[in-house]
Structure 1
């Protein structure tokens, strides 16, 4: 940032050494246009060295020291108009902010007042004085003459006594801060409305401005002045246009290329001046419509209030207080609009300084203008033939347009390999990106379309080295890349439809060589570093300084912070390690664990050992089982003696039996 300011300061010092006044903003703008216009020498990707910086300074000083240069005067006009517009707006915003700050301080003092008890007479008196001081602050000057100041105080005291008597202070003190603030706002509005009503009735209104009269008169006065200037400037631009077109078509011997280029520069200056006049006229007309509506509403409310009050001594406050509030609000809005109109008047005064800032080489008495007016009018065919023979300035430095050669626009078209860099014919573009010609019959909002290049013909700007000719919407409006283009004749329209990118890039190329066209054609989006608003780097919130931009610096604010002596770490991760080798060791350990296998074995020492405090044994499941045995019955051998019992022992013999137990038992029983 210091280097940027130093470059701008060097440019300003160089101009001052030649006794030429140059603002820092103008120096920054000219330097930026030089950097943008010579992209080969000062490439954006290349850092500027000391030699480049010195070259920028020398070229900027040389540019700013040009004498009687319409293009330089156009640049000065653009910088002066934009800076004046912004500074006037910021001055109004600053004044409003200062008044609001004073009002807030008074309200804060009133709201913070506390009473010792309900009978604290001194505190109540001081509070009433603070409220009275707040109500005497109006939109008019705070410093009244002695007689006016006393009249204002008497009117305010009478109005306050009827709206907010002293007895109401006790209940006011009991309200919350927000309720106090709302009541103070309402009280101030009602008191102001009462004074305005009395002023209308001829019974007061000391120190109150007549916004309902001054605002319409100011709008009418400025509208008449600007309208006259616009009419005169339209005539001058038409004269320049006639002479330049005549010189291009008829080629008079007494007209040189330098003269034609000079007329183009002067025409661009006049069109920029006319554009600013039209912008101011639109703003003032918008304010005039709003002022007219507010004035009618204001007078209507006064009439309603007059009919409501009439000759009665008392009127219900719920009926009249809203009317007083409405009247005060309308009066305030009228004052706001009058301030905007006053800002536009100040900007107009700064703009008028550039009405005759150079020596005009063409006027209504010029011989060439008489020749142009007396020359027979060319037919449409002759004009189109002359247009076809034009050499188109393209992005590569001015190659002829093969599509518009003597073969006519219906030729086979250019070879894509021979086209300048950055151009693509329409038939090679995607269908959704091709230009479309709109007509008034097919487009309902045809008359409200926002035209590119402020309605000037892109073909003429590109092919005629920056000549500004207004387009004719009757021929059709071409829609391309969300933009709407108009053209001066049919050949220009058809050529743009054939290759739109060629002429869009051609306009940018011409603007790089003629930086005054950047703002005139509203090409700030294509050249963001040259935008005056960006170079100023201002905002309504910080109007005290105008930081220079080359490019614009970032906004800065004063901030502070307190640093503790010992920081307390609240989020500590115990497993965190910053050491790379420790992390590597841990990674190897984790990788090694994946290869390990866990095994266990019961030993005599570990048998029945357990941790009583860490193990829980569930109740044992109890059950009974019936014992069973299986086997085979082995045969038992039993020997009996036969014949020992009975009548007479005739024969004794041995009997051998092989029986199972059960069988043996049965035999024994049967034997018994």
Structure 2
């Protein structure tokens, strides 16, 4: 069967399972159906052979088994898989959320922006209508107030007229479309900044307005809620672990407790998966909270700077000085809106995840767990790690294997651990029990992967037969498919991809195998001698300029050269004007300096009949 035919068969299987689930009143998503089909095929207890073609009987059996699993009620295992599918398909990363938010804003404003940039107005009424559209665009983009409210429209109109009066629409219409969009963006930020400043300019209502204009940041409630649910999930995980250990104890058999161990393990996997997802949300919520605090501080500081600038200046303030302040104020509030939007998504995710832990809480209430654990010690993960903190692998005795220790390894706490930090030996030898590994005992590096263990003795046993234990972990994951995502075993299952990469019919049930081997290549440091071309130009326009300069014939003339081949083939005659003799006469400038005559007369005042004395003060030529 060709690949296209196989994909058609698989699509039909998926479609039939979806229809049967919908008919029973429990619709399932394409991703959930695809993962369930793959896990059923992988489970060796079901007897499917992936190396041969599926018969009609096999297809009917596969469909029936998948539908039965998807229709199970009060199943912690199914709820865990649904939780994993929901989280992977709906939980956005920070970058994805910001990109999606910007994409939604552009999509929401595209129609209004296109009407503004593509309009061709000729009358006064059309100019007024265009100006109203610009105001609508600014209100929709800022999200500050209701754009249908008359008071909000008047406020935005007054702010826009102060920076962009209606008479400037003619110059705006003459711009290119890209320049129009850029000017619209700048006008929106400036007008939003002006409106924010105007709302906060009243001193008696300053604090009230500041709280109203800043988007609500949940007042730190989300991190506290996640922390509370995370603590509850950890307590349940510790109790389930203690109860499973009690069941496995030889002194207390399962007949005395009358508790199915399989359901206990499914409940343990369910709460451990919930705990892992809450840790991710907790980290993102904490980062968002810090970003909100930082942006609120910058918003307040920017607002104070703007107020001081307006108060100190008695005359008109240059636009080059005040417009950047308004734009910065608007950008800070936009950043706050994005952060608060992401916090809202995280809050909704936390609320939805609660629905996926309902089955285990119905099967095992916390009161019933306490009664079953009466007289038993419930150890926390920290207590278990503290018990083995004094143990450490001796690298000299275990020289056949490579071990990593915190004293000799950089970024020790950030290493990517296999099985999500769970002890693989306990998972195999203790019938699927999840015990946290202690990295300080020593991290085993086996085939470029890192493994941790719950004790020194366990680490030595695992290292002696590492490949066998790894294979047994994979076999156990086939029987409990929720472990594939919980322990991050996608690399060990070539046929199972992460949920976010799944699409209905996008891949075969089992991907074709591939042979892999380790290889290495060594090259010289500098196989080619360094050569720097000083005349190299990376700018295409500079190369064009040089080419035009070389090919510029407007101010050039043609030159002829006679060679051996062209000798005596053509007579060339040139007529010129003979040069003539020419002369000119110039003058010569000369100069001299003479003393200035100076005479002083004494006795001209105060005497009726006196003698006037004349004194010559002229400087001599010799001096």
Q: Same fold (TM over 0.5)?
A: yes
Task: Report what 2:486 is aligned to.
Answer: 520
Q: Deviations over 1:133-154 (max 9, x none)?
A: 3223235389656xxx111111
2:377 aligns with: 373
Which of 108, 127, 131 is equivalent to 1:128?
131
The answer to whether the Cα contact below 8 Å between 1:92 and 1:339 also exists between their aligned partners in 2 is no
Q: CA deviation at 1:17?
A: 5.3
Counterpart residue number, 2:604: none
CA distance in 2, matches of 1:357, 1:199: 51
CA distance in 2, matches of 1:291, 1:170: 41
- 2:247 corresponds in structure 1 to 247
After TM superposition, the score normalised by the length of structure 1 is: 0.64
Q: Which runs of 5+ in 1 are unaligned?
A: 385-408, 411-425, 428-433, 538-546, 553-672
Q: CA deviation at 1:180?
A: 2.5
- Give the Cα–Cα distance (whole angstroms) in 1 for the partners of residues 473 and 439 of structure 2: 19
**1:327 aligned to which of 323, 329, 335:** 329
Secondary structure at 1:356's aligned position in 2?
helix
**1:212 shift after superposition:** 6.8
Measured after TM superposition, the shift of residue 13 of structure 1 is: 4.0
2:192–2:330 CA contact under 8 A, matched in 1: yes
Residues in 1 aligned to 2:144 and 2:312: alpha-carbon distance in whole angstroms = 33
Distance 1:173 1:67 in 2: 64
CA contact under 8 A between 1:478 and 1:486: conserved in structure 2? yes
Deviation at 1:536, TM superposition (A): 4.7
Q: Which stretch of the first structure deviates more once superposed, 498-507 or 454-463?
A: 498-507
Which residue of structure 1 lines up, in the alignment, with residue 75 of structure 2?
69
> Relative contact order (alpha carbons < 8 A, sep ≥ 6): 1 or 2 greater?
2
- Among 399, 407, 414, the alignment partner of 1:441 is 407
CA contact (8 A) 1:11 1:27 kept: yes
- What are the Cα deviations for residues 85-126 of structure 1, in whole angstroms up to 9, with x where unaligned? 36999999777535313433433333334566xxx6455444
Q: How far is the alpha carbon of 1:58 from its aligned partner?
A: 1.4
Partner Cα separation in structure 2 for residue 509 and residue 374 of structure 1? 29
Alpha-carbon distance, 1:457 to partner: 0.5
Aligned to 1:318: 320
Distance 1:522 1:348, change over 3 A: same
Q: How many residues align?
A: 484
The match for 2:48 among 42, 49, 61 is: 42
Alpha-carbon distance between aligned partners in 1 of 2:97 and 2:438, rounded to the nearest angstrom: 41
- Other-structure match for 1:174: 174
CA separation in 2, counterparts of 1:484 and 1:346?
Answer: 35
Secondary structure of the residue that 1:525 maps to in structure 2?
A: helix
CA distance in 2 between partners of 1:466 and 1:84 (Å):
29
- Listed as ranges, the matches of 1:247-396 within 5 Å are 247-253=247-253, 254-255=255-256, 259-310=260-311, 314-358=316-360, 359-361=362-364, 363-364=366-367, 366-373=370-377
C-alpha deviations, 1:631-657, integer Å up to 9, x for none?
A: xxxxxxxxxxxxxxxxxxxxxxxxxxx
Cα distance in 2, alignment partners of residues 227 and 312 from structure 1:
50
Q: Is this contact kept in 1: 2:142–2:192, CA < 8 A?
A: no
Say which of 78, 82, 92 aligns to 2:88. 82
Q: 1:329: Cα distance to partner?
A: 0.9
Mapping of residues 484-633 of structure 1, within 5 Å? 484-527=450-493, 529-531=495-497, 533-534=499-500, 536-537=502-503, 551=508
Aligned-pair CA distance for 1:227 = 0.6
Residues 74 and 269, structure 1, Cα contact 8 Å, conserved in 2: yes
1:499-543 deviations in Å (ceiling 9; x for gaps): 322222221111111101011111223335433535653xxxxxx
Aligned mates of 2:152, 2:159 — CA distance in 1: 11
Residue in structure 2 matching 1:32, options 35, 38, 44: 38
**Structure 1 residue 490: Cα displacement:** 1.1
Contact preservation (8 Å) 2:91, 2:349? yes
Alignment CA distance shift 1:308-1:88 (3 Å): closer
Question: Which residue of 2 is the match for residue 637 of structure 1?
Answer: none
* Aligned-pair Cα RMSD in Å: 3.7
Distance 1:61 1:91 in 2: 34
Rg (Cα) greater in structure:
1
Contact conserved, 2:226 with 2:282, CA < 8 A, in 1?
yes
User: What residue number does 2:619 align with?
Assistant: none
* TM superposition shift of 1:334: 1.1
With normalisation by structure 2, the TM-score equals 0.69
Match in the other structure for 1:137: 140
Does the residue aligned with 1:530 lie in a helix, a strand or coil?
coil
Paired position in structure 1 for 2:232: 232
Cα offset, 1:452, TM superposition: 1.8
> Is 164-173 or 457-466 further displaced after alignment?
164-173
Paired with 2:94 and 2:27, the residues of 1 have a C-alpha distance of: 22
- Measure how far apart 1:192 and its partner are: 0.8
| Aligned residues of 1:435 and 1:500 also touching (Cα < 8 A) | no
In structure 2, how many angstroms separate the alpha carbons of the residues matched to 1:131 and 1:367?
Answer: 68
Q: Counterparts of 2:349 and 2:342 in 1: how far apart (Å)?
A: 11
Q: Deviations over 1:458-501 (max 9, x none)?
A: 11112223211101122112223332221111122112222322
